[in-house]
Amino acid sequence: MPSRKGRSAPQKTDWRRYRDRNCIERMFSKLKQMRRIATRYDKTAVSFMSYLNLVAVRLWIISFVNVT
């Protein structure tokens, strides 16, 4: 994260890592909006991971469809 303006010794910011981190945080936010993922209704780890994969693919496809 970028350092604050008032910091006595500002640190260098790796903007590429900062951008990638933001993208990942937004992806987790979208996943947590789905109640089934957030509350883990699935009983087995396999069914949870399979649903997680389906949701990730759905979000990935939507990102291609909305590109103009």
The domain segmentation of the chain, as residue ranges, is: 15-65
Residue 1 pLDDT exceeds 80: no
Top pLDDT among 14 and 25 is at 25
Tens of pLDDT, residue by residue over 23-59, are 888 888 888 887 777 777 778 888 888 888 888 888 8
Contacts of 55 (CB under 8 A, 6+ apart): 31, 34, 37
Residue 67 pLDDT exceeds 70: no
Q: Which single residue is written with the structure tokens 């909305």?
A: 66
Q: Is pTM, for the whole model, over 0.85?
A: no
Using 50, 70 and 90 to split pLDDT, how confident is the model at 60? Answer: confident
DSSP state of 57: H
